[in-house]
Amino acid sequence: MFEGMGVPLWLTMLGRLVFPIFLFLAADSFHYTHDRLAYLRRLLYMSWFMTIGNAIILLPILSSIPVVVLAGINEIPHANPLVVQIVASILSLVPSIIMVEGGFVMVILGLLFYIFRTNRIAQIIVLAIISVITHLFDPTTVQWMMIFAVIPMYFYNGERGSGNKNFFYIFYPAHIYLLWILASFFR
């Protein structure tokens, strides 16, 4: 997100730990929540909020993708441009496992964390394997550094936190956008 903005590489490296830890904790909390539908609804609403913010930040990049897709669809014989626009607008509100933060592999990681939620060592092995796979597919990125998330995962005690769940729903987007604003000022 901050590449090309002069942000030190070590901050990006440190950030690689965050998403696997989030997925690990989400798998655990999803298991223990008393209202899974409300939990999923909160995640959906926050994903919409983050999508809007990311679209604003990345507007020059993201705005070209729908244009290319719509241009291709409009070339289909008998395609009604209005219908294409309506369908595209509706589909843009549906979460996509392809366009998820971190890529499709993070969806797999989250599912495997949930499947192996009663076996911490299996979860750690899964993260190690996925870290190696991501490095093999693209050795030029630092995504493999998510392997270091095994340290807090290993020491996680599984106990209920303070119960201030709303703090984290506010903290995550706030810190991302604050870092982006700071990086914009210092580039």
Residue 136 lies in a domain: yes
Residue 71 lies in a domain: no
Region for residue 163 given its phi and psi (left: phi exceeds 0; alpha: psi -120 to 50; beta: otherwise): left
Chain center to CA of 115? 19
Q: Which residue has the higher pLDDT, 26 or 100?
A: 26
Residue 87 lies in a domain: no
Q: Which residue has the higher pLDDT, 152 or 160?
A: 152
Residue 92 lies in a domain: no
Residue 85 lies in a domain: no
Domain count, the chain: 1
Tokens 């991302």 -> residue: 176
Q: Which of 176, 181, 179 is nearest to 49 (CA)?
A: 176
- 3-state DSSP assignment of residue 33: coil
Residues 118-128 have pLDDT tens digits of 999 999 999 99
Residue 76 lies in a domain: no
- Write the single-letter amino acid at 104: F
- Residue 144 domain boundaries: 9-55+99-185
Residue 155 lies in a domain: yes
Residue 60 lies in a domain: no
CB atoms within 10 A of CB 171: 10
pLDDT confidence tier of residue 117, bands split at 50, 70 and 90: very high
- Does residue 41 surpass a pLDDT of 60? yes
pLDDT confidence tier of residue 95, bands split at 50, 70 and 90: low
Mean pLDDT for the chain overall: 80
